[in-house]
Amino acid sequence: MLKFIQSIGLSWSGIRLALRTEPHMRFHLISAIIVTTVSLLLGLNRLEWIVLILAMAMVIALELLNTAIENVVDLVSPERHPLAKAAKDTAAGAVLAAAIAAAIIGLLILGPHLMDVIRRF
């Protein structure tokens, strides 16, 4: 049990480190907070919340993995190398793909709710 609590503490410190050092990570977190606040105001249904949370978690999790890959690449290949470039660019591509999907999901879910609000005014 103590080991489990320790590993959660270490995971949490990894997230805090990424938030301190990675501007993209801060951008994703602030976007998630804004989307969550707007969603609370709009009143989503259960399925919409599930899809939205999965989309936001996917982006943040991939950004954390991207940060981990960047750190490992810098550790093993401080000098320029085509494979280091390929690893970093591919990992960044994974974040971009997830972020585009999350933006589309956000528009598809929040769009109709926002249109309803606009129509009521």
Ligand X SMILES: Nc1ncnc2c1ncn2[C@@H]1O[C@H](COP(=O)(O)OP(=O)(O)OP(=O)(O)O)[C@@H](O)[C@H]1O
Among 84, 94, 103, 110, binds ligand X (CB under 6 A): 84
CA distance 83 to 12: 30
Stretch that binds ligand X, among 7-15, 41-49, 51-59, 87-95 (CB under 6 A): 87-95
- Report the site for ligand X in 92-121 (rule: CB under 6 A): 92
What are the CA-CA distances from residue 84 to residues 76, 78, 96, 114 (Å)?
A: 9, 9, 18, 43
Q: Is 22 in the site for ligand X (CB under 6 A)?
A: no
Return the structure tokens found at 53.
């949370």
Residue 63 is a catalytic residue:
yes
| Residue tagged active-site, from 22, 48, 63, 79 | 63
Closest CA to 15 of 54, 57, 51, 73: 57
Residue with smaller CB distance to ligand X, 16 or 81: 81
Count of CB atoms situated within 10 Å of the CB of 17: 14
Give the catalytic positions in this structure: 63
Residues that bind ligand X (CB under 6 A): 70, 77, 80-81, 84-85, 88-89, 92
